[in-house]
Structure 1
Amino acid sequence: MKTITQRELAARSKAVLDEVEAGEVYRITRNGTEIAEVRPISARRRFVPVAELQRKWRTAPKVDSAEMRREADEFFGSEDRVGDDDPWEQR
């Protein structure tokens, strides 16, 4: 863990955040008092496995497209739609 001042963080924020992304933890001080800690987010993932997406999709709540269309028309107004092709309409 490293300790830096607020001013140093402002002056070299890109370098500090690059180090945080690589796993470093920083404590930030202002007038000699620690005020914050900057650390990497531990749960960050670059991809989600297909099996997990499939599992989440199967357990997701069902969407009532007619109700969604009614709510969208109520909120946005149906007169502003462009064209006759309604993407919300089930075929």
Structure 2
Amino acid sequence: MPGMTAQPEITQRDLRNRSREIMDAVQGGQSFTVTRDGHEIGELIPLRRRRRFVPRGEFVTMSRTASGFSVDALRADQRDTAEQETDDPYAR
């Protein structure tokens, strides 16, 4: 695709033989395109890390544009869910 940075290509054999080195690079943020018999078969990419917290300023900004919240609607949903019977085949 135009405008995308090329990822280094590694063969299936390289992945097998140099797995520790390659996984260390992935952990460090590097991505790879994996090939087999000269054909691209997949990408090895690092997982995105989830943030553990949201800064206060960002939370305030998000809260201002959030849709309304109805405590009554939440309680009605909880009540309706709690009143449902389970289809437990082992219940007597």
- Give TM-score scaled by structure 2 length: 0.56
Number of residue equivalences: 77
Aligned-partner SS, 2:41: strand
Tell whether 2:41 aligns with 1:35: yes
CA shift in 2, pair 1:76/1:26, >3 Å: same
Q: Distance in 1 between matches of 2:16 and 2:56?
A: 40
1:72 — aligned with what? 78
User: Which runs of 5 or more residues in structure 2 are unaligned?
Assistant: 1-6, 85-92
Give 1:73's aligned amino acid: R
User: Which runs of 5 or more residues in structure 1 are unaligned?
Assistant: 79-91
Aligned-partner SS, 2:67: coil
Give 2:63's aligned amino acid: W
Aligned to 1:51, which of 57, 71, 81? 57
CA shift in 2, pair 1:30/1:77, >3 Å: farther
1:85 — aligned with what? none
Q: Distance in 1 between matches of 2:79 and 2:8?
A: 54
Q: Distance in 1 between matches of 2:26 and 2:34?
A: 13
> For the aligned residues, what is the CA RMSD?
3.2
- Give TM-score scaled by structure 1 length: 0.56
% identity of equivalent residues: 34
CA shift in 2, pair 1:70/1:45, >3 Å: closer
